């Protein structure tokens, strides 16, 4: 699980083209294939700042174990970043990565 993944662009100018490996493309496709994970993404995207895990727990009718699993999948695909602070975990949508994914699909 130690592979290159698309990370948020780092001051490369305004119109950065984020590259994406076939591997990550596939990971994202699979991550989006579970409706529950899309819901989680939707919830996260609704907020300005990072979304606390607990919020998701209130919205999604799933066990903590399952939520944790989905969070890991989304992080692994590069779609979210998880900041851990003490007991808490906060999720941020990685819009760069999502955009790179969409760009690739759009070029079909």
Partner DNA sequence: TTGACATTTCGATGATTGTCAAACTGAGGA
Partner DNA sequence: TCCTCAGTTTGACAATCATCGAAATGTCAA
Beta strands in 11-65 (DSSP E): 51-52
CB 27 within 8 A of CB 77: yes
| Binding test (CB under 7 A) with DNA, winner from 5, 16, 25, 73 | 73
Q: Does 52 bind DNA (CB under 7 A)?
A: yes
Q: Does 61 bind a copy of itself (CB under 8 A)?
A: no
**Per residue in 46-68, is it b (16+ CB within 10 Å) or e — as a string?**
eeeebbebeebeeebebeeeebe
The only residue of 16, 59, 68, 92 in contact with DNA, by rule CB under 7 A: 68
Instruction: State the residues that interact with DNA by CB under 7 A.
Output: 30, 33-34, 36-37, 52-54, 57, 61-73, 82, 84-89
């Amino acid at each position: 699980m130690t592979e290159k993944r698309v990370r948020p662009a780092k001051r490369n100018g305004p119109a950065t083209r984020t590259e994406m490996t076939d591997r990550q493309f596939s990971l994202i496709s699979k991550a989006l294939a579970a409706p529950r994970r899309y819901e989680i993404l939707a919830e996260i995207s609704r907020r300005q700042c990072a979304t606390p895990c607990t919020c998701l727990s209130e919205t999604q009718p799933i066990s903590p174990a399952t939520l944790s699993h989905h969070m890991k999948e989304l992080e692994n695909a590069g779609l979210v970043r998880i900041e851990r602070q003490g007991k808490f975990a906060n999720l941020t949508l990685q819009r760069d990565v999502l955009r790179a994914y969409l760009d690739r699909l759009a070029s079909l």
